[in-house]
Every structure is written in C-alpha cells, then in structure tokens.
Structure 1
C-alpha cells in the first residue's frame, strides 16, 4: 500500500503546485506553463478528492461504515467553513474548498458503488450536465460569472440564494459539472493501483478520455463548423464594441470562469480550461487519470519531494492564498509581469518543497484539524449509541 499512497500523494503535490502556478503567475496567462496548468491542476485535485474518499473507506476492499460516513460529513462541514474564511482573505484566487465540501457530501451515496458503475455514471453526468447547465443559464441569465462563496453571502436570504446558484451552477467551480471528477476518483481509488496491469488500464483509459475530449473538441470546432458558428454568434458583439471577432474568439483558447457563454450552443464544443463542457471534463479527467497511474508506477524514492507536498496539500493550499494576499497588500504588482510572475512562482515552489520535506513525518496544521475534529465528533456519538 505504501507505493500506492506515495503515488497518490505525489499526484496531489503536483496538483497543488500547478494551482500555485496559476494563482501566482497570473500575468503569464497564455504562456505554455500556465496553459498546461490552467484548469487541469484544479481538476486533478478534484479527481484526487475522490481517490482520497476511496482510500479512507478501504480502497479496493470498500469498508463504508456509518462512522466513516460521519467523519466525511464532518470533514465536509469543516472544509466549507474553511473555504468561507479563505474567500474573505483571498485577493485574487477563487477558492475551491466550498465546492469540494459539497462534492464530498454528494459522493456519500456512491461510496459502495463498483468502479464500473462509478465510471458509467461519471460519463453520463459529463454528457448531460453541461447541456443542463447551458439550458438553465440561458433561461435564467446572470450578469456575473465565476467567483466563489464568501461569508458576505450569508448576510441575507437573497445573498444566500445567489451564493447557492454560484456554487451549483455559475461559479468558478460549479458543483453541477464537477461531480464527474469525484466519481472518477472514487473509481480509481477502488482499484488496486499496486498492480501494474491495473495502472496500465487506468493510463490507457485516461489517454482515451483525453483524446476524446481534446481531439473531439478540435474536430467539432475546426472540421464540423463549431468555430464558424461561434464567430457568427460573436459578430454582432464585435460590430457593437469595435473589438475584432478574432480577438473575441481568441478568448476561447485562454480560459473561462467555470462555464461557457450562452450566446450559442456551439460554445459547448470548446475544451477551454474552466469551461465545464463535456469535452473539457473528458479531457481533463483523462489527463488526471494518466498522472495518477504514472505517479503510482514510479519508485517511492523518486516521489519523495512531491509526496511530501501532497501530504500537506490542504495546508499548502490555505497558506499560499494567505501569502498571496499578504504580498498584494505589502507590494502591489509584485507579480505583474510574466518574468517576475515566474520568478515568484519558483520562489513559492521552492519554499513549499523545503517546508514539506522538513515536515513530511507529521500532519500539516490544516490536515491535523481535518483529521482530529471529525474523529472527536464522531467517536462520542458512537459511544453514546453503544451506551
């Protein structure tokens, strides 16, 4: 099991470092490193959330007890509260923890499912949910896109309702289109990744999903006329604003804010990071599966730095957002150019790696809370029931 845990931790460490890059090197958007990490890092983290749920409930030998479900529910509540607090501090990065918390709760009924059922459900959800999202957002248009949930959203019923819509449908990490990632992770976590044959199957399945996602989007856009349909839909906006159509369509290659536009259904054919389309879900989930399988195939000694970061993933995530906020207050524009953004990212990564290596034999502070409090809450309840 050690190899398997180290591989999962290493993949999680890579995901966290990728998210650090996209949050720190904002000025480098459009460059190759940023483009590779954008969207895919957060989705890898989402898939690994499902893997973690599977490992916490027995891995291949599923042991889903009421106590385990209780711990997951309490951990979800803690993550949600942490996400609210972190959103108050954040000066730029859109906090994903509230989405993770809700995904954990939604995954509870699926904890006993077999990998095949999980994957089929994930595939069906990936096909249907983006279309449902498009229809709902077309019927009930909103002036805002992206964003996360913050304590200010709890000041009134109206604000709370808007926050719920953002969390489920229109935000940067809409739960509606993120469910497939945790289901795929659950399926992977129910497999014995110590077996080379299993890792190979996961890697090839991931490759197939990536080709279907990114290749299918390219085919639909450039061969079947999707890009032309998008250009035609944007032409009136270009004429009204004076912005060339080519400049408007170039945004499709850069990234979205959790969802696509609703001007034309052709937007559902893109695989843009954070677009929430079927093609993006398939492509990014496939990449995540390949990374997890590859990491689990490598020797433990090779994975030590990334594994150390992965074991502190929650703490690293929280502290890097706090650090960005502090730097924004002390030195505005500190990462305002691509060159300085990448230098800053390298410094962040170096500090994270050093601290993680020094701390690797202990739980991180956030991990300690997320482990200890659920245990403390669930154990007395169990004792009371036994009495």
Structure 2
C-alpha cells in the first residue's frame, strides 16, 4: 500500500536515532566553508596573499571534499536507520530513495559541469558513490571499516596500474561529466573514465571515504564513548597517514625515486620560488601521476594515494567527533553553520552558478570573495532554516525520492 504523510512521519518517529544530529550538519557546514576556501580563497586568487592565506588553503584544499564524501556515508547510514539499520519493506524503500537521490544528483552535476562552473564538480561522482553503497546498507560496521581500509590501499594501486596501461590516460584528470560528453562514443567513454578512474573524485579511489562514513553512521553517535573513540581513531589515522608518507619519502628513499620527476619540475619551481617536491604535491587533479610508482607515496590534496586517503579520512573522523560534541553544547551559537550544512546541496549548486561572477567582480581583493560567500551563506541559511526548513533542492530530493518509493514499494 502507499503510505500517507502521517504514516511516514509516525514510522520515522518510531525508529531510534532518527532525530537529526546537529553535529553532522555542523561538520557538513565546515565542509562547505572549506569548499569556499578551495574555490575562492585568497591563496587561490593571489598566490602571494601571505602565510595566513596559505594556512587556510592547507585546511580546505582536498580536505573539504573528502569530509563531504565521508559525511555522505554517514548520511546514508542515518537515512537508513542509523545504529539500527532498516529491514524488509523499510529497507526496500530506503534503497529506492537513495537511488532516486543519486539520479537527481547525477543530473545536477552534469548541469553544473555543462554550464562551466569554475570548480571540480563532485555531484555526479557522489551519485555513483550512493549507488555503489546500496548493497552494503546492511553490512556490519566492523566489516565496512575493514572494506574501507583494504580499498584505501588497493584502490590507488589498481588505479595506477590501469591508468599506466591505458593509452592517453591523464587527459581526463580533474574533470567530471557533462551532457556534451554524451554526443559521441569516444567522449562518452572518456566521461565514464573520468567518473570511475581518473576524474576529479574517481570512484575507484573515493569509495573508502563512503564506506568509512557508512561504518561510522551505524554507530551510536550520541554516545560519549563512541565520540571519544571516533576522535582518537581520527587522530591516529591522521598521524599514521601523514607520518607514513613522510617516512616513505624522506627515510625510505621515496624522494630519490621521484628525482627524475623533481628534476623536470625544478625550472618551474625556481620561477615560482617553490621546492620541487612541494610543487609536485600541489599539482593533484584527482589522481597520482603515472610517471613513477613513487607518486603513490605522496600525501597531497587530490592525489588519491593511500597516504592521502588515510590522512584525510582520519581528519574527517576527528572533525566529525568534535562537531558532534559542539552540536550538543553550542547549538544556538553555531546554528547558522549547522543551517549551512543542512542546506549544503542548495549552497553548493548556487555557489557553482555564481562563483565565476563573484570572483571576477571582487577578485582584486583576494579575501573578499571568500568573505562574501561565507557570510552570505551563513546569513541566508541561518534565516531560511528556522523559518522554512529544508532548502529548495533538499525539498526536491526529499519529494522525488519519497514519492517514488511510495509508488515502487508497496
């Protein structure tokens, strides 16, 4: 039978853990602000903007998108029952809802890419993450954690081997999928390659974030002990990832193996006043270069190496743990940031549409575009959320997924 709105609300209220976790919204809000830093921060607009700008860029670049991906897994878990995953009819409804949301996100990502949004659009990749996670919605957290760990190591290695064997691989690095890609067989194949293998956020190296988030979302995130374990795990993973990369490069010969690549970068590095290794670690567009296997030892934004995956997953888990605590104790003070997180899809799409104009109009003052985007989002979302609830695009996702589930699952 088709459930009425009242029956759906009653069913959701009866499921433990469905009350919204404000800490998750806070973490997503921080990811949005980090996205602004990566797209319109002072270090992007003016490379000589100073040490404060460089520090801010180091916090946002790469980490914001990975926090988004990890929270996507958490959201999938919460949507499908949290620490008590749904079964039977409820689980079938969940899968339909997730699949419909994936379709909507995929189309939105293609639209933004087609319109030339001046950023690496993640939404189409997000859609594939959702679809690939569907068979794992009933998997235990421990198994999901092991799967994430194995994939974090194996995914980048498989990607490197496959891309090394593909002729012309690397020409699609940093990209996404647009409608224009579907106009010929060759461009369609290249578009699929971007999504799966070597685009901005390729599935083969990004699924560990989703599995890790799904595992976390299956825990009791209201438990103080769980939050503490989450924080400790995040810190340990961050240290292991960053420290392991440093040891591999500087103690176990990684830099020597990279020397031919560094020599080719040396003239450019000298012109911009950078160390060749530092410059190499700034050139990631989704995957590690296939020039030498030693690039898999890097821990740099958008390189998709095992060390980057471990480090950034740890950072995402630590941020989430702290945000869960802050969401309980500073709820009123941080309400505007949580509102940005709750309306993240709308904010992301609007940013993609206006980013070029904002940067062009205000880019002479390198801090101004970031301030306009951040403060504008905090104010608008902070007003919208308590008055109108879900954002416009969030309403579309909810309505389309729920109505479709009503029709398909009976």
- Shorter-chain TM-score bucket reads over 0.9
Q: Distance in 2 between matches of 1:3 and 1:371?
A: 16
Q: Distance in 2 between matches of 1:209 and 1:3?
A: 29
Q: Distance in 2 between matches of 1:242 and 1:99?
A: 32
Alignment of 1:229-248 (within 5 A): 229-235=257-263, 237=264, 248=276
Q: Distance in 1 between matches of 2:155 and 2:217?
A: 23
Contact residue 83 and residue 96 of structure 1 kept, 8 A: yes
Q: Distance in 1 between matches of 2:19 and 2:38?
A: 29
Q: Does 1:147 align with 2:165?
A: no
Compute the TM-score of the two structures, normalised by the length of structure 1.
Answer: 0.92
The one of 103, 108, 113 equivalent to 1:77 is 103
Q: Does 1:98 align with 2:124?
A: yes
Counterpart position of 2:12? none
Counterpart position of 2:138? 112
Contact residue 254 and residue 297 of structure 2 kept, 8 A: yes
CA-atom RMSD in angstroms: 2.0
Q: Distance in 1 between matches of 2:192 and 2:129?
A: 14
Contact residue 217 and residue 269 of structure 1 kept, 8 A: yes
Contact residue 3 and residue 296 of structure 1 kept, 8 A: no
Q: Does 1:27 align with 2:45?
A: yes
The superposition leaves residues 14-34 of structure 1 with CA deviations (integer Å, 9 ceiling, x where unpaired) of 001110111112225671101
Structure 1, unmatched stretches of 5+, are: none
Q: Does 1:351 align with 2:347?
A: no
Name the count of aligned residue pairs: 375
Counterpart position of 2:8? none
Counterpart position of 1:168? 196
Counterpart position of 2:6? none
Contact residue 89 and residue 325 of structure 1 kept, 8 A: no
Q: Does 1:376 align with 2:403?
A: yes
CA 185–28 in structure 1, closer or farther in 2 if over 3 Å, else same: farther
The one of 54, 60, 68 equivalent to 1:45 is 68
Shift of 1:325: 3.1
Shift of 1:225: 1.5
Structure 2, unmatched stretches of 5+, are: 1-16, 48-52
Q: Distance in 2 between matches of 1:76 and 1:28?
A: 36
Shift of 1:380: 1.7
Shift of 1:76: 0.2
Contact residue 193 and residue 199 of structure 1 kept, 8 A: yes
Q: Distance in 2 between matches of 1:253 and 1:137?
A: 19
Q: Distance in 2 between matches of 1:52 and 1:238?
A: 41
Q: Does 1:363 align with 2:367?
A: no
Q: Distance in 1 between matches of 2:268 and 2:80?
A: 56
The superposition leaves residues 242-287 of structure 1 with CA deviations (integer Å, 9 ceiling, x where unpaired) of 8659754332332410011111111000010000000000000000
Structure 1 runs, 4 residues or longer, greater than 6 Å off: none
Q: Distance in 1 between matches of 2:268 and 2:310?
A: 35
Contact residue 149 and residue 163 of structure 1 kept, 8 A: yes
- Which of 124-133 and 149-158 deviates more? 149-158
Contact residue 337 and residue 382 of structure 2 kept, 8 A: no
Shift of 1:228: 2.1
Contact residue 256 and residue 274 of structure 1 kept, 8 A: yes
The one of 135, 140, 143 equivalent to 2:161 is 135
Shift of 1:87: 0.9
CA 57–2 in structure 1, closer or farther in 2 if over 3 Å, else same: closer
Counterpart position of 1:180? 208
Alignment of 1:178-327 (within 5 A): 178-235=206-263, 237=264, 248-298=276-326, 299=329, 300-327=331-358
Q: Distance in 1 between matches of 2:133 and 2:108?
A: 20
SS of 1:301's equivalent?
A: coil
Shift of 1:45: 0.4
Contact residue 18 and residue 81 of structure 2 kept, 8 A: no
Compute the TM-score of the two structures, normalised by the length of structure 2.
Answer: 0.87
The superposition leaves residues 47-82 of structure 1 with CA deviations (integer Å, 9 ceiling, x where unpaired) of 000000000001001115111100100110000000
